[in-house]
């Protein structure tokens, strides 16, 4: 192990060439890295990184690069094939430019990527999604709106909401109506206590008959 061996991060330039960006992005750690995992850990629609180091704490890199583009997070649920859809290919069509994601297990040494697949959509609001399941069958799940997390169930032909969609995936917070309930609950509790302990509401046990 040589502590002067920096980690590298390569950006795909889209023309068959790559550019080393590790230093510019602060990803050039010098610990003895042994593996990494990529996933949308903070549920904001982009890919974050965790790097596993030997005899040292892991590096956790939160991605804040270009938050303006749209995205779609897709998970699979197999019913006839395997439960997680491992071996399936997800294709998103944005115009005439398809994106492909292969759902696989065991991505790297000491590292496993999330089975959820993140698709970048740029400024596109809706895109067609198809799945080729491990047994070769193809299923069309139709147009999907951007900035959502969906679960595609084998044989259903339509998505269901991901459990993570209970949170606002744009801001990482709860929806406004849940936040409103959180604020109103203490007020309702206080009002209830006032009504219960108001002396005017407590019946008198004495003799109120003037005779």
43-93 confidence digits (pLDDT tens) = 889 999 999 988 889 999 999 876 788 999 999 999 999 999 999 999 999
Q: Where, residue-wise, is CATH 2.60.40 in the chain?
A: 70-161
Q: What is the pLDDT along the chain (211 residues), one digit of tens a residue?
A: 555 688 999 999 989 999 999 999 889 988 888 888 999 998 889 999 999 988 889 999 999 876 788 999 999 999 999 999 999 999 999 878 899 999 998 877 877 889 999 999 989 999 999 999 999 999 999 999 999 999 999 999 988 876 554 334 444 444 555 556 666 666 766 676 666 666 555 455 555 454 4
Q: Please list, in sequence order, all residues whose beta carbon lies within 8 angstroms of the beta carbon of residue 161, skipping any fewer than 6 positions away.
A: 148, 149, 150, 151
Task: Give the integer Cα–Cα distance in Å for 143 and 130.
Answer: 9
Indicate the CATH number of 70-161 among 1.10.10, 2.60.40, 3.40.50, 1.10.3470. 2.60.40
Beta strands in 57-187 (DSSP E): 59-61, 70-77, 89-94, 97-102, 117-122, 126-132, 138-145, 148-153, 159-161
Taking the alpha carbons at both ends of the chain, their separation in whole angstroms is 100
Helices and strands (H, E) in the chain, number of each type: 2, 13
């Amino acid at each position: 192990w040589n502590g002067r061996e920096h980690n590298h991060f390569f950006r795909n330039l889209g023309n068959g060439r790559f550019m080393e960006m590790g230093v510019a992005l602060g990803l050039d750690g010098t610990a003895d890295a042994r593996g990494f995992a990529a996933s949308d850990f903070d549920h904001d629609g982009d890919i974050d990184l965790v790097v596993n180091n030997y005899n040292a704490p892991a590096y956790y890199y939160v991605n804040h690069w270009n938050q303006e583009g749209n995205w779609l997070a897709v998970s699979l649920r197999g019913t006839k094939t395997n439960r997680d859809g491992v071996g399936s290919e997800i294709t998103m069509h944005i115009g005439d430019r398809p994106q492909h994601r292969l759902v696989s297990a065991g991505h790297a040494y000491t590292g496993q990527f999330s089975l959820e697949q993140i698709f970048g959509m740029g400024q596109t609001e809706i895109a067609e999604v198809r799945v080729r399941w491990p047994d070769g069958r193809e299923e069309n799940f139709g147009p999907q709106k951007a900035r959502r997390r969906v679960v595609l169930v084998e044989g259903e032909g339509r998505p269901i909401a991901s459990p993570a969609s209970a949170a606002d995936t744009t801001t990482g917070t709860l929806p406004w109506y849940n936040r409103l309930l959180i604020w109103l609950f203490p007020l309702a509790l206080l009002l209830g206590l006032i009504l219960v302990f108001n002396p005017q509401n407590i019946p008198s046990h004495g003799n109120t008959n003037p005779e």
